[in-house]
Amino acid sequence: MNDRLSPNAGLVAGDGSISGRLARLREAMARAGLAAYVVPSSDPHLSEYLPQRWQARKWLSGFTGSAGTLVVTLDFAGVWADSRYWVQAQAQLAGTGVELMKLSGGPQGQGHVDWLAQRLAAGERAGVDGAVLGLAAARTLSDALGARGIGLVTDLDLLDTVWTDRPALPASPVYEHAPADACVARPDKLALVRAAMRESAAQWHFISTLDDVAWLTNLRGADVNFNPVFVSHVLVGLDEATLFVGEGKVSAAIAEALARDGIRVAPYEQARAALAALPAGSTLLIDPRRVTLGLREAVPAAVSVVEAVNPSTFAKSRKTSDEAERVRRTMEEDGAALAEFFTWFEEALGRREPITELTIDEKLTAERARRPGFISPSFATIAGFNGNGAMPHYRATAAAHAKIEGDGLLLIDSGGQYVTGTTDITRVVPVGTVSEAQKRDFTIVLKGMIALSRARFPRGIRSPMLDAIARAPIWEAGIDYGHGTGHGVGYFLNVHEGPQVIAHYAPAEPYTAMEEGMITSVEPGVYRPDQWGVRIENLVLNRADGDTEFGSFLAFETLTLCPIDTRCVMPSLLREDEREWLNAYHETVRERVAPLVDGAAKAWLEARTQAI
């Protein structure tokens, strides 16, 4: 809801107001002869969550959403964002001089590209920092502008000119993911990557994405909020490898361990020079979706380039049996933390104890912190009451949040980073009296979640094609939602990872194939602006489900262990087989979580897992 967001979003502390920052950027653009400047939400590693140094779009516009592109001309500024962020962006951009440009067609749309091509005149120039622009995105932008005779300048970081108190590179130390929890040793991971390099006839492979680097090296860090990764690059050769990382971040003991496994440590700033020094006649493997234009341009013309998905992206998505078993145990611990939290929540409601959306975040994190192996939340908790729950990426702040009182629905989307797995769960619970309309929406979403959770499908099917299974019951009711239905989840890594994604707007490319061992979210939703939102989310594991004359099949094993609140269910809308699935799920939750809780939490678990 707009009134839940700060009315002063455009007036930010440090280095002036939004309007002042934009004025300084326009002065720098005029000096450089640019008619437009593009500020993507990215860093040199194309991360989803950014270190402070590269949060330029947020700094310039005041919009804090995790996705969006800012375009500034000499007389206009706009942020292109998809429907997940429209309510948030409208509130945060109010009074800043920055317009919300509603991006339709899903998060992968290219609305700002078309807008620039139509707005600028032939002979004018647009600028963007190629060091933070993905290679694939750069090609799209360059082709669209070039076709209209518009120039594109990619070697200017104007933010260094106008952002006078720009944060430095993060300096948190790197640490080992203990071998007992990492499951696969570094030499074995390097061997797997090198085998893929040989298949591509490549002598070198450059990796920039931070979760790929962390997976390959069995190291973790704290440079990015919620994701246990560290700012770095890796250059892998057939006989050697180099980790480019900030000086002082890797201890002598870890450096020695890396050296024993054939990985030397070099300063972060030397990565580009290392690419420029690759020997003539050699072949380099890069992933065009996971490397920036600036790094690609450093590769000498005499070096052949093979473009393919990073081998590590495939490998880390397919959890081993040891990793899967650790994730199952992690889900039990996470389920116990949630049982303790919801026990407190319901008791506090009964006592009319003051509760806010911020309280939800604090209590959830505290309960998870008591469980073994917990490191941090896996993303910023979304606790949205009534209308706030209708914003899929809503986040309460100290300046703007709702009290949990009266009647309605509370949506809670949260997760944890444990050394033995990453969790992500959404539940909706009743507060006071729940209306029939709210129960109907909840049940329709539940039907979509059950439909996909029960699916059986051919091994190798392209993951975007599964999206309609979850949406079918929701479409039948004449409803839709503006986000994807599922994303990959890492193993003590990023809560969002590829290559699989369950979203109808995502390209159904071969690299999105569903394979055994992948962990994916299932999270359909219904959102009624300014009224309420419903999203129910579990994580599922791809497991083998038999062979037929038509090939090998997979099915989902549900990993998440937390009751789905049946007080919000309209039983008459559920088929018998759907009721059976829900009752069987609750029986599993009770059996596996009950040994880890006692007292009031155990009683709560028993009550919330009763059959309907």
432-487 per-position pLDDT tens digit: 999 999 999 999 999 999 999 999 999 999 999 999 999 999 999 999 998 999 99
What mean pLDDT is reported for the chain?
94
Residue 283: strand, helix, or coil:
strand
Q: In this predicted model, what pLDDT tens digit does every residue of 292-351 receive, in sequence order?
A: 999 999 999 999 999 999 999 999 999 999 999 999 999 999 999 999 999 999 999 988
Q: What are phi and psi of 100, to 5 degrees?
A: -85, 125
Q: What is the mean pLDDT of residues 393-421?
A: 94
State the number of CA atoms in the 13 A half-sphere of 340 facing the CB: 19
> Which contiguous run of DSSP H or E holds residue 474?
helix 467-476
At 105 the pLDDT is 57
Q: How confident is the model at residue 15 (pLDDT cuts 50, 70, 90)?
A: low
Distant-in-sequence, close-in-space partners of 143: CB < 8 Å, separation ≥ 6 = none
- Within this chain, domains 2-162 and 318-608 share the same CATH topology: no
At 6 the pLDDT is 32
Q: Which fold has domain 175-316?
A: Creatine Amidinohydrolase; Chain A, domain 1 (3.40.350)
Q: In this predicted model, what pLDDT tens digit does every residue of 167-206 receive, in sequence order?
A: 999 999 999 999 999 999 999 999 999 999 999 999 999 9
Tell me 513's DSSP state.
B
Q: Which CATH architecture has domain 318-608?
A: Alpha-Beta Complex (3.90)
Q: How confident is the model at residue 11 (pLDDT cuts 50, 70, 90)?
A: very low
Q: In this predicted model, what pLDDT tens digit does every residue of 206-262 receive, in sequence order?
A: 999 999 999 999 999 999 989 999 999 999 999 999 999 999 999 999 999 999 999
Is 40 within 8 Å of 69 (Cβ atoms)? yes
538 or 225, greater pLDDT? 538
Rounded Cα–Cα distance for residues 544 and 538 (Å): 19
- Within 552-593, residue ranges assigned H as helices are 576-593
At 267 the pLDDT is 98
pLDDT > 90? residue 115:
yes
The answer to whether the peptide bond before residue 499 is cis (omega within 30 degrees of 0) is: yes
- Within 169-209, residue ranges assigned H as helices are 179-182, 186-199
At 301 the pLDDT is 97
Which two tokens mark 545?
């489900």
Sheet of strand 263-267, all strands in order from the earlier edge strand to the far edge: 263-267, 241-245, 232-237, 204-207, 283-286, 304-307
Lowest mean pLDDT across 46-55, 308-317, 418-427: 46-55
Cα distances (angstroms) measured from residue 42 to each of 6, 105, 198: 25, 21, 31
In the chain, the amino acid numbered 236 is V
Rounded Cα–Cα distance for residues 236 and 202 (Å): 10
Tell me 303's DSSP state.
S
Q: Which CATH superfamily is domain 2-162 in?
A: Creatinase/prolidase N-terminal domain (3.40.350.10)
Domain ranges of the chain: 2-162, 175-316, 318-608
> In terms of C-beta distances under 8 Å and separation of at least 24 residues, what long-range contacts does 8-14 make, across chains too?
8/399, 9/62, 9/63, 9/91, 9/92, 9/93, 9/94, 9/95, 9/96, 10/62, 10/92, 10/93, 10/94, 10/95, 10/96, 10/97, 10/98, 12/59, 12/62, 14/165
Q: In this predicted model, what pLDDT tens digit does every residue of 540-596 receive, in sequence order?
A: 999 999 999 999 999 999 999 999 999 999 999 999 999 999 999 999 999 999 999
In the beta sheet, which residues pair with residue 205?
236, 285
Cα distances (angstroms) measured from residue 326 to each of 322, 419, 437, 490, 595: 6, 9, 40, 13, 17
Cα-Cα end-to-end distance for the chain: 34
At 217 the pLDDT is 98
At 45 the pLDDT is 96
Rounded Cα–Cα distance for residues 419 and 338 (Å): 18
Residue 500: strand, helix, or coil:
strand
At 85 the pLDDT is 82
Nearest to 425 by CA among 293, 330, 531, 283: 330
- Within 133-290, residue ranges assigned H as helices are 135-146, 159-162, 179-182, 186-199, 210-217, 252-260, 271-276
At 185 the pLDDT is 97
Q: In this predicted model, what pLDDT tens digit does every residue of 122-173 receive, in sequence order?
A: 999 999 999 999 999 999 999 999 999 999 999 999 998 899 999 999 999 9
Q: How confident is the model at residue 430 (pLDDT cuts 50, 70, 90)?
A: very high
465 or 5, greater pLDDT? 465
